[in-house]
Amino acid sequence: MRRSLENISEETEKKGGKSTTSKKWLGVRLSRAMMAQVEEVLQKHPEYAWSTPNDFVRDAVRRLLEHVRREEMLSRINTEAMEKSAKKIVEDTIGELAGKKLDEKLKDVEPNKFDEKLFETLSEMLGQKVAKGVIEKLRESVEEKEVKG
C-alpha cells in the first residue's frame, strides 16, 4: 500500500455557478522507500515528539524554510560588508566621487547578482586584474569576520 500525506482540509465554494476549490492544506506524496525512512525515524527518535509522518514533514519543511531565510540574511549581510569595504578601497584609491559612482552602480542589486556587478563596476574603474584581486581580498576579509564573529 502506498502511503501519502492526505489533504487535510478542502473548501468548495459556489461562485457564479462554477465550483472552485480552495485548499488550505497541500497533500504531499512520498515514495514507499522515503516513507519507510520517515517511519523508521519516527520509531527511533521519540524525543522529537513527531507523532505522525505529517508532523515530521511539517517540521522538516519549517526547518528548511528557516535555513533558507537564514542563508539569505547572511548573504545580504556579506553583500553589505563587501560593498562597504569596496567603497572604502575605491575612495582611498581613486577618490570620493568614484565611491559615490560605485554606490550608485551597486544600488538595489540582488545578492545573487552582487559579485558579478561588483566585478563589472570595479573592472571599469580599476581594470579587470586589479578588480579580481580586490574582490578576492574582500571575500577573505568578510570570511575572517564571520569566523571571528
At residue 57 the predicted structure's pLDDT band, cuts being 50, 70 and 90, is very high
In a domain, 33, yes or no: no
- pTM, whole model, 2 decimals? 0.53
In a domain, 2, yes or no: no
In a domain, 100, yes or no: yes
Diameter over CA atoms, the chain: 71
Number of structural domains (the chain) is 1
Residues 112 and 75: their CA atoms lie apart, in Å, by 8
Q: Which domain holds residue 126?
A: 72-148
Q: What is the pLDDT of residue 13?
A: 42
Q: What is the DSSP letter of 16?
A: T
Residues 26 and 40: their CA atoms lie apart, in Å, by 24
In a domain, 124, yes or no: yes
Q: Which is nearest to 79 in space by CA: 139, 148, 122, 147?
A: 139
Residues 10 and 116: their CA atoms lie apart, in Å, by 46
In a domain, 64, yes or no: no
DSSP characters for 38-73? HHHHHHH-GGG---SHHHHHHHHHHHHHHHHHHHHH
Amino acid at residue number 26: L
pLDDT tens column, 70-129: 888 877 777 888 888 888 888 998 899 999 999 999 888 887 888 899 999 999 998 999
pLDDT of 18 strictly over 60: no
In a domain, 137, yes or no: yes
Whether 122 and 90 have beta carbons less than 8 Å apart is answered as yes
In a domain, 118, yes or no: yes
User: CB within 8 A of 48, min separation 6: which ones?
Assistant: 59
Residues 4 and 34: their CA atoms lie apart, in Å, by 11
In a domain, 96, yes or no: yes
